[in-house]
Amino acid sequence: MIESLFWISIAAILYTYAGYPILVWLLSRLRAHEVLRADITPRVSIVIACHNEQDNIERRIRNLIGCDYPAELMEIVIVSDGSTDFTAEVARRYATNHVNLLAYESQRGKATALNVGVEIASGEIIIFADARQSFEPAAIKQLVANFADPIVGAVSGELLLDGGGSSSVGEGVGLYWKYEKWIRKSESRAGSTIGATGAIYAIRRALWRPLPATTILDDVYTPMGIAIEGHRVVFEEKARAHDITTDSARREFARKVRTLTGNYQLCQLMPRLLVPNNLLLFQFYSHKLMRLVSPIFFLLLFASNLIIAASSSVAVQLFYQAAFGAQLIFYVGVLAGGYLLKRNRKVRLLNFAYVFSLMNAAALVGLIYFVRGKRNIWARGE
């Protein structure tokens, strides 16, 4: 029984972080689905829900106005959700026929703010963005080009993390993000990617469904709903947004906890996701749910390995002792990575081991938050 638990844990971990990525990559090569792209210019509405973003909102508006898209076919909808600073006052300076501002005093949460923003938007295509990031000039054109294909219902752009090499945490997060984008590209070529990048994604207005007020991950809930209805959700790497990677382990941990809590919540809001009876749901199961339970398998692997190594015959012990030794080396590396992080010293392998473990720990904390009903209604710049 204990040995079975050991091998099941190894299999689950390997499948989650290597098996599924390789499988979906092979699938994308064997049955690639090309997207019909064209230089189209439908009317677009860019919806930004924000809270206390006075330091970013003006720069953000200027960035969007400067994008290479016909001004008469683009509107910017800003919803200030109970901001207590000068977010609304700064945005109001730009209020024109192309910049609409709605500000209300009581904070209702990001999901409600997005619902309000889409309700007043007039575009055929809705683009979701955040206050902190910036779009490259061609980003909007690159996004909407994919909607020339009638089966495409949503398009995710690419978020580039600038300054990833300036800190130990940033470097580790940057490597992990590159790995994640590689998976998303493969999923997109095979059919649909799971979720979207919250900083830059677009949907057909006709496919919008209002978000439940407590929704944490609108950028997964909305694309998954669209994909379940039979439309494709694709990844467009030429539609780029930029952000500055975090240099704080605590901030990155809090962001990841919120994201993973949101994944638990998705299973509550959309219970059919728990039954992988088609390719899309199999992808969700493999990409999202297996990430949630992988820290449990790491704990089971460590505990079962310790028990077997201590109680088996000498011949069997040698293998399991070696395996246990390898785990100890890994976790010592994690501790060393954390130690070096505090001194902002870079050892790439140790930095990545630390960030990888940090994200797995966040999954456990996310589960606790979800069970306790703890929700963060706002996440700045995600």
Q: 336 near 222, Cβ under 8 Å?
A: no
Region label for 176, one of left (φ > 0), alpha (ψ between -120 and 50) or beta (otherwise):
alpha
Q: At 79, is the pLDDT very low, low, confident or very high (cuts 50, 70, 90)?
A: very high
Residue 98's pLDDT band (cuts 50, 70, 90) = confident
Report d(CA 92, CA 206) in Å as an integer.
Answer: 29
Structure tokens at 75: 């509107």
Amino acid 40: pLDDT: 96
Residue 344 predicted with pLDDT over 80: no
Q: Is the pLDDT of residue 379 over 60?
A: no
Residue 348 has pLDDT above 80, yes or no: no
Q: Which positions ≥6 away from 88 have C-beta within 8 Å?
A: 80, 101, 103
If we measure between CA atoms, which residue out of 225, 230, 175 comes closest to residue 195?
225
The pLDDT mean for the chain works out to 88
Name the band, by pLDDT with cuts 50, 70 and 90, for residue 314.
Answer: low
For the segment 249-297, what is each residue's pLDDT rounded down to a tens digit? 677 777 788 888 888 888 889 888 888 778 888 999 999 989 989 999 9
Structure tokens at 176: 């992990």
User: Rounded to an integer, what distance in angstroms lies between the CA atom of residue 209 and that of residue 110?
Assistant: 15
Ranges of each domain in the chain:
44-248
Q: What one-character-per-residue DSSP string does 65-77 give?
A: HTSSS-GGGEEEE
Q: Which helix (H) or strand (E) holds 81?
A: strand 74-81
| pTM reported for the whole predicted model | 0.87
Look up the CATH superfamily of 44-248: Spore Coat Polysaccharide Biosynthesis Protein SpsA; Chain A (3.90.550.10)
Q: What is the pLDDT of residue 211?
A: 96
When pLDDT is averaged across residues 139-165 and rounded to a whole number, the result is: 90
Residue labelled with tokens 């039954």: 275
- The model's confidence at residue 78, banded by pLDDT at 50, 70 and 90, is very high
What's the residue count for the chain?
A: 382
Q: Which residue has the tokens 């930004």?
A: 48
In this structure, the strands spanning 99-104 and 152-162 are: unpaired
Which pLDDT does position 347 carry in this prediction?
Answer: 75
The pLDDT of residue 171 is: 62
Structure-token match 């392998």, residue found:
349
Residue 380 in this model has a pLDDT that exceeds 60: no
